[in-house]
Amino acid sequence: MRHLSRRAALALGAGSAAITLVGWSKSASATPQAAAADIAKFTAGATPEQGKISIELPEIAENGNTVPLSISVDAPMTSNDYVSDVLVVAEGNPNPGVGTFHFTPLSGKAEASTRIRLASTQNIVVVAKTSSGKFYTAQKLVKVTIGGCGG
């Protein structure tokens, strides 16, 4: 092959990326079950209701090393009715935990953004706890082109 065409070079690159991913996924251990266990711990066994939460994530994340994530929960955020904790789990990462946001009435809005790492295409599950002890949940699927947990 005297001239490696642009297309062939890209294909080679994509191929090696795929190999890296496959090699890596063996060590990935989080499963939807592990994520569900984390959620059960957070809710102390209560079943969260669907709704009230909106998750902003790209549909396709080209780089799993840094994926923008915004979460907003519909809540009045007054001193007797507010969202206190928001748990974020990733079903397909080596560890399901991503983080927990803790809000207070001084937060004004139950809304926060960060950037997360995603190992592969997977569901992100968000569970919110209100000051009155109710739980809400929502989830979103993200397609990840290149995984972001090193390896």
Binding site for other proteins (CB under 8 A): 27, 65-67, 70, 77, 90, 93-95, 97-109, 111-118, 148-151
Provide the CA 101 distance to its chain's centre, in angstroms: 13
Provide the minimum distance between the beta carbon of 5 and other proteins in the complex, in angstroms, as a whole number: 32
Furthest-apart CA atoms within the chain: distance in Å = 72
Residue closer to other proteins, measured from CB, 112 or 146: 112
Residue closer to other proteins, measured from CB, 2 or 115 = 115
In the bound state with other proteins, the residue whose beta carbon lies nearer, of 49 and 56, is: 56
To other proteins, the closest distance from the beta carbon of 14 in angstroms equals 22
Shortest Cβ 10–other proteins spacing (Å): 26
Neighbours of 20 (CB within 10 A): 13
Nearest to 134 by CA among 98, 88, 93, 81: 81
The span from the CA of 69 to the CA of 37, in Å, is 22
- Residues 59, 143: contact at Cβ < 8 Å? yes
CB nearer to other proteins: give 49 or 76: 76
Q: How far is the CB of 100 from other proteins (least distance, A)?
A: 4
List CB contacts of 19: < 8 A, sequence separation 6 or more.
none
